[in-house]
Structure 1
């Protein structure tokens, strides 16, 4: 064949890519499968594979589309995706260019369950400190389940067989479907008001969709807030729902929940027989010991002659009396000696001599103070008399007595003739009495 009939690898790859890109059935494909080999590139692109039980296809989701999804793709997630199939010419491998991706229905339920678990775990609702103890001998048990389920028949049979003394109240409940959430919450609250010892919340196995009511956050919170101890038995042993984490005790199945709620009457009967035999043994053994002790005491010589007992006790009483009297005498002597020493010490350290000395010193100081006070009073009186004499010597009254007088004009003292005029009415005051006068003539510095 001629060489020009051969294609290069690149040419074939481009041709195949052209065929992929032009095929209308590959422009918009819808797939569901499980994510595998998920790699988040630093540029924002996501590279992964989508697989099912029989096949695997490579996929890529560019950043412009990856930024629009509301979850983080992770290994093992079941997803629904859409995009177009294309060929990567560099390796001649076909892949799907994903434009939309969302969690598959069941995967969304698992994601929601994980979110609810994380919320309650962070609030501490899973802590054992919140767990109430289950009564060992319940008198009344309330069962929340469907009356038509096979599980309820097994539970009632188990309770009747293991502990027929217990009273059982069945609260018929929708455990699946649209009405189940409100039905379960309503009957949980009702069971909490029945004064029951234990509540059993149970239903048989099923898919995650069938059991979803028991993963509802409102249902789990109602279980957590129950005042009555509650045992959950939902689904099969591998099914663990949200209510199992917040209940006081989780049983793997409804029948196991009934078994854990009551003791086994057969075990109780065996235990009662064992306790009866143990009590009989202890009683017989105790009686035997008491009987031997009684026989030993009955042969005691003092019991045959009771006076010996009285005599011995009388002697012991006299001995104790003498010991007590001697002890009291010794104590009194010791107390008197201690008292004498303390009195001597008190007399030696008595404050009376010091008090007398202080009293004498006080009397001396008082006498000195009195003398000093009298002396100061006398000196003060003398100074006062002298000051009075000086004041009296310059007193206007004394001056008037020596023949002087003073003149006033309109109430003011006249000290200079210049202040007066002819005809002014004056008042002249003497040592005894005063006179009215009129200015007839005024002389100023020798002039009229």
Structure 2
């Protein structure tokens, strides 16, 4: 039995029909998805091709350059994102996909992105440079702790400080370290701690998620830490937690307890070191006493000390010799200076410039007279030449020619030098030495016609 081929659709026709259904369905024109990015490819033309997947399914996606340029982050493999766009069908492969119009990092990823933005901003401003780090005092007398007084972390810090360095005074400032009031609470108590003029400030809290620790990633809190005049140690979270305040503090500790340990010395280490120094001092003192006793014994046996007059006599003779040497030196030096002075006076008299000055003044006066005479003669010559040139110019001047009875004719403000340039009926103007005459041409005769 022959089959009726007219009821069969081509693949292209079916694909176009399904695409039409996709594009007309209002529920597919604005779709919101969340999932993980996969197979991300950034094309050279600016488009981004990728897939969005969850534990069960995957969908292809495209974000065209116009929308991709609006992103404030670079989409990368494994990022959890929130998407908005429309569903369509790619006819060539018969595969449905989403055209993404908007994209943002989902949840925790958004917080990490914000943390990186704040860190980059501080880096650009130069706040992360080591030159801004203040040294911690080796033996602090007063430490202020900014933390929650009800937390286990502050109890561990106080215990650590008391055990390691019981000489230090500790002031605690009860602070909200989580929640909506925590940012202002941390900033206010940092200012109070700075005003206490303590030797060191510790800013700390126990571990938690990035949401729990977010107060310490706030840009305003990091700037408050950077602007502290008192050296500050930060111990926020666990060892793997690095918050924004850790980058700008003077010292970052991995935990609150470690912050307390790094803020003070260990009294046991100090006692051990003190014992070593005490022994070194004892040995040094005994050695110096022994050396001094040996020197004293040597001096007591010196022969001049047995007869003190020898010391006086020798020094008196030495003083006399030095005085005589000094007198001889001064006399010789004065004599040398006198000879040099006489030499300079003779040279000065020989090189006295007065005769030369008088001679040059006479020569200047004579030269000045010659110059004045030559200038007068030159001016007179120039005047005569000018008069002669004026006479020559006047002899060839058009005005002088006109005075002798000559005239000139113009047509259209141009001098006429040839009759054939005029036509009958032209109005011409003839200029005399005094006045002009306008006339109409009635006849034109050229030399060729004569």
Query: TM-score with structure 2 length normalisation?
Result: 0.68
Aligned pairs, number: 353
Query: Match for residue 140 of structure 2?
Result: 138
Give the 3 Å change call, closer, same or farther, for CA 65–100 of structure 1 in structure 2.
farther
CA distance in 1, matches of 2:204, 2:96: 50
What secondary structure is seen at the aligned counterpart in 2 of 1:165? coil
Residue pairs, 1:33-182, within 5 angstroms: 33-41=35-43, 45-52=47-54, 54=55, 57-63=58-64, 66=67, 70-75=71-76, 76-81=78-83, 95=97, 98=100, 100-182=102-184
Shift of 1:301: 0.8
The correspondence of residues 339-418 of structure 1 with structure 2, limited to 5 A, is 339-346=341-348, 348=350
The correspondence of residues 209-248 of structure 1 with structure 2, limited to 5 A, is 209-248=211-250
Q: Which segments of 5 or more consecutive residues in structure 2 lack a partner in the other structure?
A: 363-450
Q: CA deviation at 1:347?
A: 5.1
Which of 197-206 and 62-71 deviates more?
Answer: 62-71
Greater shift, 37-46 or 104-113, is seen at 37-46
1:251 is matched with: 253
Q: Partners of 1:68 and 1:43 in 2: how far apart?
A: 11
2:81–2:105: 8 Å Cα contact kept in structure 1? yes
* Structure 1 residues 9 and 111: alpha-carbon distance in aligned structure 2, compared to 1, 3 A threshold: farther
Q: Structure 2 vs 1, CA of residues 93 and 280 (structure 1 numbering), >3 Å: closer, same or farther?
A: farther
Equivalent residue for 2:273?
271
Alignment match of 2:190 (pick from 175, 188, 194): 188
CA contact (8 A) 1:45 1:60 kept: no
Closer, same or farther: CA 206–337 of 1 in aligned 2, 3 Å: same
Give the Cα–Cα distance (whole angstroms) in 2 for the partners of residues 99 and 331 of structure 1: 101
Work out whether residues 44 and 66 of structure 1, in 8 Å CA contact, stay in contact via their aligned partners in 2: no
Alpha carbons of structure 1 residues 72 and 3: separation in structure 2 relative to 1, 3 Å: farther
2:254 and 2:277 map into 1 onto residues whose CA distance is 33
User: How far is 1:342 from its partner?
Assistant: 3.8
Tell me by how many angstroms 1:332 deviates: 3.3
Q: Please report how far the alpha carbon of residue 65 of structure 1 lies from its aligned counterpart in structure 2 after TM superposition.
A: 8.7
1:301 pairs, out of 303, 314, 317, with 303
| Partners of 2:45 and 2:65 within 8 A in 1 | no
Taking a change above 3 Å as real, the CA distance of residues 67 and 343 of structure 1, as seen in their structure-2 partners, is: closer
Q: What CA distance in whole angstroms lies between the structure 2 residues aligned with 1:98 and 1:348? A: 105
Query: C-alpha separation between the residues in 1 aligned to 2:165 and 2:177?
Result: 26
For residues 349 and 92 of structure 1, the distance between their equivalents in structure 2, rounded to whole angstroms, comes to: 114
Distance of 2:307 and 2:81 partners within structure 1: 104
Gaps of 5+ in 1: 362-448
> 2:145–2:202: 8 Å Cα contact kept in structure 1?
yes
Contact 1:233–1:252 (8 Å) recurs in 2: yes
Q: Are the equivalent residues in 1 in contact too, given 2:32–2:82 (CA < 8 A)? A: yes
Specify the SS of the correspondent of 1:126.
Answer: coil
Deviations 1:66-122 (A, max 9, x none): 469643441132212356777767557665554653321212212221221122211
Question: Which is worse superposed, 145-154 or 315-324?
Answer: 315-324
Asked if the contact 2:89–2:96 (Cα under 8 Å) also holds between the matched residues in 1, the reply is yes
Equivalent in the alignment of 2:375: none
TM-score, normalised to structure 1's length? 0.68
Shift of 1:46: 2.7
